[in-house]
Amino acid sequence: MLTSIEHQETTSRKANTLSLEDFLQHPVEGMEWVNGFLVEKYPLEVENGTVDSMTLRHSQIQLRLGSYWRNYKISSSQGGEVYTEALCRTLVQGRRPDVSYLTPDLLAQYANAASYQYWYLLNCDKSTCRYYCQ
């Protein structure tokens, strides 16, 4: 029987022929570039017999958080834009945080880009939001 880690590695990692720069310019839908591998954003993870992937609850929380951030952006008149699963670059990875925000200045620079070339200053992802979502 496969452990959770072995299952994730055999089902979610794809042989990588893209550099990080190529991936950021030509993103693959539903994938992130992590440690030299293309990895599914929401892999099927089996842990203690339960499946952990994008659930209705996760999707609901993602939408609510994005809506709250958007409403705050509008009510405060600060501008910018709120995104869900918009590709960005960390120091060595291409990631898709669940919800992120670009300031008006950054939006003017990157609005039509395939990805944001830095880690979003305001972002939330399943791994960082798990505490708040329970």
Is residue 47 over pLDDT 80?
no
Grade residue 9 by pLDDT with cuts at 50, 70 and 90. very low
Task: List pLDDT tens digits, range 59-77.
Answer: 898 999 999 999 999 999 9
- Summarize the confidence of residues 13-20 as an average pLDDT: 70
Percent of the chain with pLDDT over 70: 73
- Summarize the confidence of residues 120-127 as an average pLDDT: 84
> What's the rounded Cα separation, in Å, for the pair 42 and 31?
8
Determine phi and psi for 79, rounding to 5 degrees: 75, -160
- Asked if residue 71 lies in contact with residue 99, where contact means CB atoms within 8 angstroms, the answer is no
Task: List pLDDT tens digits, range 64-115.
Answer: 999 999 999 999 999 999 999 999 998 889 999 999 999 999 999 999 999 9
Is residue 132 over pLDDT 50?
no
Grade residue 116 by pLDDT with cuts at 50, 70 and 90. very high
Query: Tell me, what's the pLDDT at 107?
Result: 94
Give 94-110 as a DSSP string: EE--SEEEE-HHHHHHH
Query: Tell me, what's the pLDDT at 14?
Result: 56
- Asked if residue 76 lies in contact with residue 69, where contact means CB atoms within 8 angstroms, the answer is no
The structure tokens listed for 56 are 């209705």
Identify which has the larger pLDDT, 110 or 15: 110
